[in-house]
Amino acid sequence: MYKLKNNFKMKKYLSLAFVFLFGFALFSCSDDDDNDSNPNPEPEPEVRDNFSVLGVIEGAYYLAQTESLSEGTLSFVNNGTQLEADQAARIIASGDYLYSLNYGTGLLTQLKANTNGGYDIVKEINAGLSVGTNRPRFKLASEDIIMVYNVTVEPIKDQDDNIIDNTCTLRLASVSIPDLTIANLNEFVIPQSDNAKQGGTIGYHPMRVDGPVISEDKIYFGLMHMDMSDPTTPPPFRKPKQTGLETLVFDYPSLTNGTVVESSVASGHTTGYRAPSMHVDEEGDVYQVNWFMSGNSFDLSAGDKTVISRLRDGVYDQAYSFNVSEALGLSTNIASVGWFYVGNGIGYMPIQLEDEGTYYNSNSWSVAKIDVYNKTAVKLDVPLSGLFSYENGVAANEMFYMAISPIGGESYVYEFDPESNDFTQGLKLDGGNVVVDGVY
């Protein structure tokens, strides 16, 4: 994703002035001018004229192309390509391709936009087979690596058939792109931390990893825990672990020396859901949001808060904590399941407002602009919608774009200006029964 630079327009004018002065000096001065040229000029911002939009209509997944996200209309009716999705389809984009994971068969399909507004299949592999499930999870960990992974949970019982512990094994594979080849297969038994042993009836066990990012020689995975006392009930119907934060860290690219690092600055999961929980900034630091949800079966206990934490060199930076809940200053409790990084510390975070309804099936979500460097957060006055399963936004053309599709209402792509708190309503999408899960 392109990292936007602050004061871009001013820099552009300064650059033009520099070019003029440099040309004048070259004309009137000596051969020493070659030593004054800039060997590392600042890159121009990414300019794009083709984007993809992922829509869900009554359980069916569709991808469609558009030349603009800031104006016009886009419909999925008789347009685009329907994706193979036994249970769901998940999309990531890198370079000239999109990659669709069929969550239900484990097939990973490489797609390329065609001239008819749809997408052609370039290549396909069974990524789920490599990690032993037809419902693997995956994320783009770097520009040329997709990580595919799955956690198996096997109960350990005593002589009276009571569960006393669990063996949680992470299976993970590195998929090189764009050639779409599996480069590495690993297994790792995730240890139960001392912190996790304190919770629940007989402790919490790690049952999911997600949101991997690579920084220098480390790869970071967020962790989700569940109460071991009821292993038959899947999430989100059990209460999540609410004691501390944990992240699984490996050496990279060897995927060895796995360890669980911990922080007590807040509580909750660190996996994110469909939106990413972690991002690497320009300095190589990892910024991570926690996940706890309010209402219904999720536990919003006293003192819980949405925070951004920072990891450096494979451990939590205990000197850094950004309390997003406090910075927003709202009267309602808020929660988040991921966020999007634009650059220079600026990001956009879907936030769930507890007073507006349940997290899953009501228009209770808004968007906050956050600054992880200055620890500021502003709730933006966009329409309330359902963003629990929202996957992806895109930074291009000096702006950030994401779709907002209120349940039962009109859907639009919104254009956000990272230089201010301004935003505008852009591309109009199908409304009503259409849920837009991402733009790419």
pLDDT in tens, 362-381: 999 999 999 999 999 999 99
Closest C-alpha to 247, from 268, 223, 214, 269? 223
Residue 215 lies in a domain: no
How far lies 369's CA from each of 55, 201, 284, 350, in Å? 24, 38, 21, 9
Same domain, 54 and 78: yes
Query: For position 391, what pLDDT does the model report?
Result: 96
Residue 373 main-chain phi, psi, to 5 deg: -80, -45
56/404 Cα distance (integer angstroms): 13
Range of the domain at 422: 46-82+396-440
Look at residues 221, 54, 224 and name the one whose alpha carbon lies nearest to residue 138.
221
358 lies in some domain: no
* Banded pLDDT at 40 (limits 50, 70, 90): very low
What are the pLDDT digits (tens) for 288-320?
A: 999 875 444 444 444 578 999 999 999 999 999
The structure's pTM equals: 0.86
Sign of CA dihedral 235, 292, 223, 239: negative
- Let me know if residue 13 belongs to a domain: yes
pLDDT for residue 42 is more than 60: no
Mean pLDDT of 132-150: 95
Range scoring the smallest mean pLDDT among 11-25, 82-96, 153-167, 402-416:
11-25
pLDDT given for residue 233 in this prediction: 58
Read off the pLDDT of each residue in 77-93 and give the average, rounded to a whole number.
94
Question: For 60-72, how does the pLDDT look when each residue is reduced to its tens digit (9 = 90+)?
Answer: 999 999 999 999 9
Q: By mean pLDDT, which of 74-83, 316-325, 351-360 is the weakest?
A: 351-360
189-212 residue pLDDT tens: 999 887 777 766 667 788 899 999
State the Cα–Cα distance between residues 274 and 291, nearest whole angstrom.
12
Backbone angles phi, psi at 14, to 5 degrees: -65, -40
Position 70 in a domain: yes
How many helices, marked H, and strands, marked E, lie in the chain? 4, 30
Phi, psi of 380, rounded to the nearest 5 degrees: -95, 145
Residue 64 lies in a domain: yes
255 found inside a domain: no
State the Cα–Cα distance between residues 245 and 123, nearest whole angstrom: 38
Q: Residue 359: what pLDDT? A: 84
SS3 9: helix
Alpha-carbon torsion (131, 136, 139, 140), positive or negative:
positive
Q: Please, are residues 395 and 5 in contact by the beta-carbon 8 Å criterion?
A: no
Q: What is the pLDDT of residue 6?
A: 42
51 and 22 housed in the same domain: no
Q: How many domains does the chain have?
A: 2
DSSP 36: G
In a domain, 291, yes or no: no
- Cα three-residue angle 175-181-183, rounded to 5 degrees: 60
d(CA 281, CA 318): 18
Q: Regarding predicted confidence, which is higher, 130 or 40?
A: 130
29 and 6 share a domain?
Answer: yes
> Is there a domain that residue 27 lies in?
yes
* Mean pLDDT computed over 335-346: 96
Spatial CB neighbours of 209, under 8 Å, sequence gap ≥ 6? 137, 149, 151, 170, 172, 190, 221, 222, 223, 224, 248, 271
Give the Cα separation of 355 and 366 in Å (integer): 12
The pLDDT-based confidence of 2 (bands split at 50, 70, 90) is: very low
Sheet of 278-280, strands arranged across: 278-280, 286-289, 307-312, 315-323
Confidence of residue 162 (pLDDT cuts 50, 70, 90): confident
Bridge partners, residue 395, by sequence? 400
Collect all residues with Cβ–Cβ distance below 8 Å to 122 and sequence separation of at least 6. Answer: 97, 110, 111, 112
Tens of pLDDT, residue by residue over 371-418, are 999 999 999 999 999 999 999 999 999 999 999 999 989 999 999 999
Pairing of strands 218-227, 245-251: antiparallel
